[in-house]
Amino acid sequence: MPTRTTAPLPTRVIPPHHYSDPAIFEQEKARIFRRSWMFVGFADDLGGNNDFITAEIAGTSVLVQNFDGQLRAFHNVCTHRGSLIHLKPCGNGKPVCPYHGWVFNRDGVPVGIPGNREFFGFDDEARRRLALPRFEVATRGRFVFVRLEPGGPGLDEQLGAYGALLDHLSALFVEKIDENRLPWAANWKTGVESVLEVYHVDATHPETFKQFTKKVWNCAYEKEHSRGTTHLSDGSVKWWDGVVARLGLPRSELYRNYDHFFIFPNLAIGLTHGGLMSVQTYDPLDAERCSLHFRLFLGATSKPQTRGGPVRRAVEDNLRGFNARVLDEDRIVSEAAHHGMKQMRQPAVPGWCEERIHAFHDAYLTRMGE
């Protein structure tokens, strides 16, 4: 385990009240979530005409829709009476409000208004004034991002060197084996912090993640983002080598430990021995709640005969079960930390074994203008 004894600890730490103050949450929405490129889903769900995905970005419902091969992003709220337009996380269908049947085109303009002549009398200009607010949308590999507020750096600039990472992962991890949204009674920052250090592993994950890794890690930084590499236990390496050979799974030659990447403000990507990808976002719901949205991916097998077989099913069940146990353990301690943070009067004191926490706090406070 690396130790730091000579350098002073950074002093910029997020104040306790930032984890539960509704006024601070409103500032976060304006200064962080509206101005950042936010990961909203995968291009896998947007391959055909009229395919769509929806997402919540700090209280703003977003719709990304494929119009004849072109992706466009809008506010997913009808300008007539405020109903959500698409109600599902993903699917296929034109943007039609389920409340009164208003139909919106690729520019977000309502082109189909039942009873327009009799009840509204909207001409073309009036329809254009009722267009859905439009957001910026961009992709890197299969990862789809939306920015609510225009201006600022492009997606590639925000990602920096991690853009190439997303390209690499997009080409490799193409088979989704699990996805879910889990409600956490904790601030989104508390959720993020639960994945940025391994100091908590012994106490929080004694029967799960502790058995999976060694007490060795290395950290690196890219702009507001960070990477932590934790060495796998010998037993984990042996198990993964066997699974890869038995099922014919591809894996990354670049990442062979437990490689964890964090893309500010709330996207976490974990790679296990180059063979499994976990993608997680800690989506804020309000000052005291977030939703953990996770997806698990494997690579496309070179032995298609194993797909659906008993060994493949057993491996997938093992991975899903392990992931569920670890995330539930993180939820329990994150909710405990959130509850306790509301009673603290002094800032937290993360040590060098939690150095990625310091980087996250520094990026957050800079964005918040503090």
In sequence order, what DSSP letters do the residues of 214-226 get, joined into one string? EEEEEEEEETTEE
Rg (CA), the chain: 22
In three-state secondary structure terms, 52 is strand
Residue type, 339: H
CA–CA dist 90, 360 (Å, integer):
31
Which helix (H) or strand (E) covers residue 325, if one does?
helix 310-341
Quote the longest CA-to-CA distance of the chain: 77
Q: What is the mean pLDDT of each run of 10 residues along the chain (370 residues)?
A: 50 94 98 98 98 97 98 98 98 98 98 97 98 98 98 96 98 97 98 96 95 91 96 95 95 96 98 97 98 97 87 96 98 98 94 93 95
CA–CA dist 186, 316 (Å, integer):
29
CA–CA dist 260, 272 (Å, integer):
9
CA–CA dist 262, 280 (Å, integer):
10
Residue carrying the six token digits 């405020």: 82
Q: Any idea of the CA torsion for 308, 313, 319, 324, to the nearest 10 degrees?
A: 110
pLDDT, position 305: 85
Look at residues 3, 32, 52 and name the one whose alpha carbon lies nearest to residue 188.
32
Domains in the chain with CATH codes = 36-151 (2.102.10.10), 161-367 (3.90.380.10)
pLDDT, position 7: 52
